[in-house]
Amino acid sequence: MKVATLPIPAYLQERYRTLGIVDLYPPQAECVEKGLFETKNLLVTIPTASGKTLIAEMAMHAHASRRGKSLYIVPLKALASEKYDEFGGKGVKVGISTGDFDRRDDYLGRNDIIVATSEKVDSLIRNRAPWLRDISLLVVDEVHLLDSPDRGPTLEMVITKMRARNPAMQVIGLSATIGNPRILAGWLDAALVTSSWRPVDLRQGVYLNGEIRFDENARPVATVSKHEDINLLVDTVAEGGQCIFFVSSRKNAEAFAKRAAKALKCEDPELDQYRNRLKKIAGTEMGESLASCVGMGAAFHHAGLPREARAIVEEGFRKGLIRCISSTPTLAAGLNLPARRVVVRDYRRYETGAGMVPIPAREYHQMAGRAGRPRLDPYGESVLIAKDEEERHTLFEFYIHAPAEDVNSQCANESALTTHILSLIASGFVSCDAEIQEFLGRTFYQYQHRGSRLIGSVTERALRFLDAAEMVVENGGRLSATEYGALVSQLYIDPRGAESIVTRMCSADEYSDTGLLQILCSTPDMYTLYVNNRDLHYLERFLFEHEEELWLPLEFGEEEEFYRALKTAMLLRDWSMEVPEPTICERYSVGPGDIFNLVESVNWLMHASGRLSTMFVPRFARDVREYEVCMKHGIKRELLPLVSLRNIGRVRARSLFNNGITCPEDLKKADPGKVSAILGRGIAAQVMRQLERDEANGEDEPSVSGQVTLSSFKEGG
């Protein structure tokens, strides 16, 4: 099917022509035949790299040409940014929203295409963003994540709410890995497009005894090392290909990258540039190690790295300079980097309480789908590694020949359902028990479990909790959210977590930063760090030394949860006390990326706590709001006046403070040469410009002495 024959805008056709896209792939053509441009719902389950995004993009532009709006839902912020960049510059207005959960973001309504995470869309619904009623097309990328215990319930509720609000809206679900697509298509009232066609042939095999064995044949791999994974790497690179290795842990990813770098020993001036870029931002031993590996053509990639470092690695790999990346399986879904060969070296990963367990077949297929770069590779290979003949047979049976697992609703989880029932009541979707049951009857859960009463009993318990917590109230059979309940829903936090925060703050005799952190790290919304036996010594010492500051006592039977929350709170406390990042990484066995993610998570809970304290414990409100800023910047309270200035973060603020400049007024009076020496001439000039603007706008009292101007910063060293 020719692109030129499709009912898409001329500018998009021209764009595709310049990109060399003239004919549709067979699965894309089938989508057109099954009603893509007639606003029919579609569930598209086709392999990675088979053109799912193009299907969605054509539909979104068709809607834009009719003055419709499209909402494109992705599971991760990184993927949202990727899709935003991909959709931009093609003749329509594209917006992105992944940020604060208590904003309506009305400006997004000016766009033709809006890219957002499912959590952000849910918050926009809760905050009644008016432009949502104008959505004529909903695209759900990675729709199989309905099966995720973490993200699944929110995604399911978002789809159900959007379909209830906009009944004429077209829905397109996209996935490469669904074991029961007909069931999901039935729930979506969608035509099913499923295919195994790929633009690049995928060969799947198992490496054993010096050869990769496929279903029909085998190919030898030259032995250049005692390590099987290095043999597979060198074999791929010798053919001009690149490799992605999936291993069981961050430690293993880093260890393999070091071995791979030694084996490759690439010399390339462009690689030197990437190494130098990474060295500039490397504040830890891990960062230095990554830079060293990249300089020789290898890299590791996991959530412990800063986002900037990951972006540099991805860029170098896409350009073909970095020959291999080793990554953890948990990052497989977010690692959109095709390669000639994907090696699933470790098919087991550690799970708390269960030890090393096999990954699901769906995850294997997600990884394998990254093998083969369209228009660059003649084929793609996915390779597992076996230790003996018995394991080889097992790997073929449970991964290569196995379909992806079925997608099952996770919506009956009591904690998740409590959260979503509150949001349904607070946002006006439902106003009585019968309407709740009617709405839940539209969910994927009820479609899968017709006649089941489980969700009804879970709903009853959820409503009892919300009533006891005074988040909802019933009057004459009508349910409505109290001011408290409405705020919790808008803040997008778990009601049980909110009740814990409020209860502990109200019962505390005096405010404590450490106590607040401990409570926040004990809520369901906060990811907590793993605790091993060697951690217990310093955790117990901290507990003994700071017991009076803590708001939660150690309860018998809850030791693991208590110490995980305490360890996480201690890390965040160190960050806010200006402990250097490398020290934190070493002390808690984390990476810079982990620190960033924890700070980002707790900052939202801090913001929520500030709003809740204003409502219930006003005497704590200012302390909480100040500590939120301290946590955001990683500073002690004494630096708060300085970080209010743009371009002044924790390092520059501390440098100024240590040199006797403790507030903006001191900065105005300071010698320009001294400030330039501390901040650098460029930053000093920018800061001074801001002070002058603030003074001109009456935001600050003008300085009586020390008449410092922007020109003096330019002239004075």
Band the pLDDT of 703: cuts 50, 70, 90. very low
What pLDDT, on a 0 to 100 scale, did the predictor assign at position 160? 97
Does residue 306 contact residue 593 with C-beta atoms inside 8 Å?
Answer: yes
Look at residue 107 in the predicted model and tell me its pLDDT: 87
Given this model, what pLDDT does residue 375 score?
80
Does pLDDT of 709 surpass 80?
no
| Distance between CA atoms of residues 567 and 528, nearest Å | 8
Higher pLDDT, 76 or 572: 572
The CA distance from 343 to 206, in Å, is 9
3-class SS at 176? coil
Domains of the chain: 3-194 (3.40.50.300), 202-400 (3.40.50.300), 414-491 (1.10.10.10), 495-634 (1.10.3380.20), 640-715 (no CATH)
Q: pLDDT of 312-349, one tens digit each?
A: 999 999 999 999 999 987 666 666 788 999 999 999 98
Closest C-alpha to 48, from 70, 31, 25, 66: 25
Does residue 634 surpass a pLDDT of 70? yes
Percentage of the residues of the chain whose pLDDT score is greater than 90: 81
Instruction: Give dist(CA 694, CA 307) in Å, integer.
Output: 33
Task: Output b/e per residue, 402-435; b: 16+ Cβ within 10 A.
Answer: bebbebbbbbbbebbbbbbbbbbbbbebbeebee
pLDDT confidence of residue 335: 65
- Rounded to the nearest 5°, which phi and psi values hold at 445? -60, -50
- In angstroms, what CA-CA distances link 552 with 331, 510, 518, 533, 548? 34, 14, 7, 22, 10
Q: State the pLDDT at residue 672.
A: 87
Average pLDDT over residues 243-268: 95
What's the pLDDT band for 595 if we cut at 50, 70, 90? very high
Nearest to 433 by CA among 482, 478, 485: 478
Do residues 242 and 323 lie in contact, with contact meaning Cβ atoms separated by under 8 Å? yes
Report the C-alpha dihedral over residues 511, 512, 515, 516, rounded to 10 degrees.
70
| pLDDT-based confidence at residue 694 (cuts at 50, 70, 90) | confident
| Chain centroid to CA 567 | 23
Buried b vs exposed e over 132-164: b needs ≥16 C-beta within 10 Å?
beebbbbbbbbbbbbbbeebbbbbbbbbbbbbe
pTM value?
0.91
Write out pLDDT tens, residues 106-158: 889 999 999 999 999 999 999 899 999 999 999 999 999 999 999 999 999 99
The answer to whether 145 touches 69, Cβ cutoff 8 Å, is no
The tens digit of pLDDT for each residue in 417-440 reads 999 999 999 999 999 999 999 999
Is 716 a residue whose pLDDT tops 50?
no
What is the spatial order of strands in the sheet that 113-117 belongs to?
A: 94-97, 113-117, 69-74, 135-140, 170-175, 42-45, 191-194
Query: What pLDDT was estimated at residue 707?
Result: 36
